[in-house]
Amino acid sequence: MRAASYAGAGGREVVEVVDRPIPVPGEGEVLIKVAAAGINRADLLQRSGNYPVPPGASDLPGLEVSGTIEETGAGVVGWEFGTPVCALLAGGGYAEYVVVPAGQMVPVPDGVSLTEAAGLPEVAATCWSNLVMHAGVKKGDWVLVHGGTGGIGSFALQLLKALGARPLATAGSQEKVERCLELGAEAAINHRDEDFVERVQEITDGHGADVVLDVIGAKYAEKNLEALARGGRIVVIGLQGGTQGTVPLNKLMGKNAWITGTTLRPRPVQEKTEIMRQVQENVWPMIASGQIRTTTDATFPLDRTAEAQDRFEEPDRTGKVLLVTDDAHPEPVGVTR
């Protein structure tokens, strides 16, 4: 099979298409013939040497795919050859075939194309597990989402709206502010022109954000706390603004608040299985009903993986960037939503 692999050591590694043996599913696993794979920031961190591959995972990048079932391993029941599925992976998605634990695989949601489904598992699992399972977001909560037009942010805003929460967002341009409002944010803040702490306090009449979903990290550590409501929760899921921040613990204590950080990739199969079960039960109906829409920025063929990752890093990107494993799209394809 063809696969996109990283070659070199240190710095920005080269992406090359290589031939690999088709993996064989073990007990409790399924072999998927990949139609498309989603690009995530973890893939780029792995490429730069800053995200070690978890023990036992494929060295190939790619944390989510869509495709059809090709083969099932021992002990797998209820899945048939050719069924359209999408899956959450620990690695290996940038390839024509991938093996995944059956519990991390779910049917493609109604109304979503097989290609676009590749952009759902990672973002849906990240948003649901952090906002609902971890932070306990409930109806009426003010929730501040940083990077509201990115892959995570655009999904989170729609999910929060569907849950009856009151989403707020930060973005880096007026165009992106308007996009956040279209996605369901009650208000969006251009962080280049406005102080998001002041705006959050103003918008919420001094209450603050009950939950902050943060992809920035150190750069926003203290400001997130200032924007937080009493009893609020800050969930750090990205470190685009650095790893070393300062938090005044007296303010944290004074607000009876907490700060936590999570990752998804290295979690045990049992945890990922439960997350995907809840995603299928709770989020897939929201997608089928149109409450949450997929947002794809562009698709690229597998042999243009480096260009796809470059597109992922462009500041004007909105939504997901996907790789397709066939030759149906010889040129990048932009998708407007």
Same domain flag for 141 and 115:
no
Question: What distance in Å separates the CA atoms of residue 51 and residue 177, rounded to the nearest whole number?
Answer: 31
Do 130 and 114 lie in a common domain?
A: no
Question: CATH number, domain at 226?
Answer: 3.40.50.720
Unique residue bearing structure tokens 């990107």: 317
What pLDDT was estimated at residue 335?
39
d(CA 107, CA 85): 4
Q: Burial code of 214-251, b = ≥16 C-beta within 10 A, e = fewer?
A: bbbbbebbebbbbbbbeebbbbbbbbeeeeebeeeeee
- Side-chain-side CA neighbours of 156 within 13 Å: the count stands at 32
* Residue that finishes a domain, picked among 227, 261, 295: 261
pLDDT value for 201: 97
Q: What is the pLDDT of residue 153?
A: 93
Q: Is 112 helix (H, G, I), strand (E, B) or coil?
A: coil
Overall domain count for the chain = 2
Name, in order, each residue with C-beta under 8 angstroms of 281's C-beta and a sequence gap of 6 or more.
Answer: none
Helix axes 151-163, 174-183, angle to 10 degrees: 40
7 and 103 inside one domain = yes
In this structure, the answer to whether residues 75 and 34 fall within a common structural domain is: yes
Last residue in a domain, options 213, 240, 261? 261
Please tell me whether residue 307 adopts helix, strand or coil conformation.
helix
* pLDDT at site 319: 78
Q: Which of 240, 261, 282 is the last residue in one of the domains?
A: 261
User: Does residue 204 share a domain with residue 130?
Assistant: yes
Residues 99 and 137 in one domain: no
**In the chain, what is the straight-line distance between the N-terminal and C-terminal CA atoms, in Å?**
33
Residue 63: give its domain's CATH number: 3.90.180.10
Q: Are residues 248 and 168 in the same domain?
A: yes
pLDDT of residue 150: 86
Whether residue 71 is found in the same domain as residue 19: yes
pLDDT of residue 329: 43
What does R_g of the chain's alpha carbons equal in angstroms? 20
Give residue 34's pLDDT.
98
Nearest to 15 by CA among 225, 334, 312, 327: 312
Specify the pLDDT at position 9: 57
Are residues 246 and 154 located together in one domain of the fold?
yes
Closest CA to 225 of 238, 235, 237: 235
- Tell me: do 309 and 324 sit in the same domain: yes
- Shared domain check, 207 and 146: yes
Which amino acid is present at 102?
A
108 lies in the same domain as 132: no
The pLDDT tens digits along the chain (337 residues) read 999 999 875 556 889 999 999 999 999 999 999 999 999 999 999 998 888 899 999 999 999 999 999 999 999 999 999 999 999 999 999 999 999 999 999 999 999 999 999 999 999 999 999 999 999 999 999 999 999 998 899 999 999 999 999 999 999 999 999 999 999 999 999 999 999 999 999 999 999 999 999 999 889 999 999 999 999 999 999 988 888 888 889 889 999 999 999 999 999 999 999 999 999 999 999 999 999 998 888 999 999 999 999 999 998 887 799 999 974 444 444 433 2
Give me the domain span that covers residue 298: 2-120+265-334
